[in-house]
Amino acid sequence: MSELIKIFPAYEDVFYDDLENHKKYFLPICSFNLQLIDPSKNEWLHIVSVKEIYDGCVGEGREESHTQFTKADMLGFDIIDGKYKFDADWNYFQTSTEITPDQYGEEFSDLDIEYNMNEAMYELKKAYYNKHGKLYDKYSYRPGLTVDDIRRLERLRQLTVEDLENDEHSDYMIERAENKLYGIFEELNTEKNSLEDSHFGGENLINKPYLNEKLLDYIACIEGYDFQQNAADQIFLFHDDSIKKAVICFEYT
């Protein structure tokens, strides 16, 4: 099945165009072929997160940039040649401030810092996955990453894969990882159930994607904290082939 799933895929394999802006805001988590759900299908979908998850909803207060499928904590993508194109304008996001090491003495907002924290943790966990072929499954307690200033970013960037390898063994984390389908999915809707009839029912989603009053097909759910410092508890993927649309929704429980 590995040929049908790519974890931590390359930006070039996920996004159709304007890679510069897609790289500014998104974190590619997983690409997979719909054959996993329906053997008659041969189409790639992608689950992505965003770098600026921190406090409140992504896209809140940016209603002028909302679309039918892009609202608070909901992101719509046009599917073109098996790749994604964000369907709203970039003003939907609040920050893309990259903090370089020579700027650690300057003042930045918590959102700016967390944007950089999320990218740094993503790259660290991606390196761990590339080395071990599995998601990080240990227990870490790093109070230095919870301080209230930019030191938390400096400390995170100093961590290496070897630091993660030396973290405390956790039977719970290993069991949790083993329960994931194909090592990544919390749920894969192979039964083609409605969202309400699924194990992860999305009860806390503040927005859901509808077309003509019908919810788009629910495809899959993954846990966000496997990939970044601050995350949605669950990331849902919805899809409608008739309009070539994929929608990502973030849930916090």
**CA–CA separation, 227 vs 139, rounded Å?**
14
**CA–CA separation, 137 vs 125, rounded Å?**
10
**CA–CA separation, 189 vs 39, rounded Å?**
13
pLDDT mean over 147-166: 96
Rg (CA), the chain: 18
Percent over 70 (pLDDT), the chain: 100
pLDDT of 229 over the 60 cut: yes
pLDDT mean over 89-105: 97
pLDDT mean over 230-241: 97
pLDDT tens, residue by residue, 8-45: 999 999 999 999 999 999 999 999 999 999 999 999 99
pLDDT mean over 230-237: 97
**The pair of three-digit structure tokens given for residue 9, joined into one six-digit string:** 């895929």
Cβ 189 vs Cβ 198: under 8 Å = yes
The crossing angle, in degrees rounded to 10, of helices 151-158 and 110-132 is 10
pTM given for the model: 0.96
**Opening angle at CA 164, ends 109 and 186, nearest 5:** 80
pLDDT mean over 61-75: 97
The confidence band for 1, taking pLDDT boundaries of 50, 70 and 90, is: low
Q: What does the DSSP assignment read for 43-79? A: -EEEEEEETT-SSS-TTTT-GGG--SS-BTTEEEEEE
The amino acid that residue 111 corresponds to is L
What total number of domains does the chain contain?
A: 1
Residue span of the structural domain in which 68 resides: 5-251
